[in-house]
Amino acid sequence: MVPIRTCVGCRSQTEQDSAVRFVLDGDQVVLDAERKRPGRGAWLHRSRQCFETALKRRSFNRAFRKPVDTAQLAFEDFERLTTAKKAGWKEMNTR
């Protein structure tokens, strides 16, 4: 059973496998492509529309429950990193 997450952009629920996770590094929002960084996460679909909506509505501030810096976020970087992750190695199931 795959965990369900809510996209901070469109507010719809989706499976965790079809969303990417963002975390805080100080006060800056950064992509957690490996999904292993500690702390509270904000989930987002891999679409430009959800990305721009989240920035416009300041959804990351609400998700992290404080003012955060999103100035360094660009969809092109986000898209490049998530595409590279999908095209890379598959995770092994060791259990």
Model confidence pLDDT, tens digit, residues 38-57: 999 999 999 999 999 999 99
Tally of structural domains, the chain = 1
Number of other residues whose CB lies within 10 A of the CB of residue 29: 23
Is residue 6 pLDDT above 80, yes or no?
Answer: yes
Residue 31 pLDDT level (bands cut at 50, 70, 90)? very high
Q: Which pTM value belongs to this model? A: 0.82
Residue at 30 is within a domain = yes
Question: Pairing relation of β-strands 19-25 and 42-45?
Answer: antiparallel
Closest of 36, 47, 53 to residue 14, by C-alpha:
47
Q: Would you say residue 12 lies in a domain?
A: yes
Pairing of strands 4-6, 42-45: unpaired
Domain interval for residue 28: 4-73
Residue 95 maps to a domain: no
- Please report, for the domain that includes residue 9, its CATH number: 3.30.1230.10
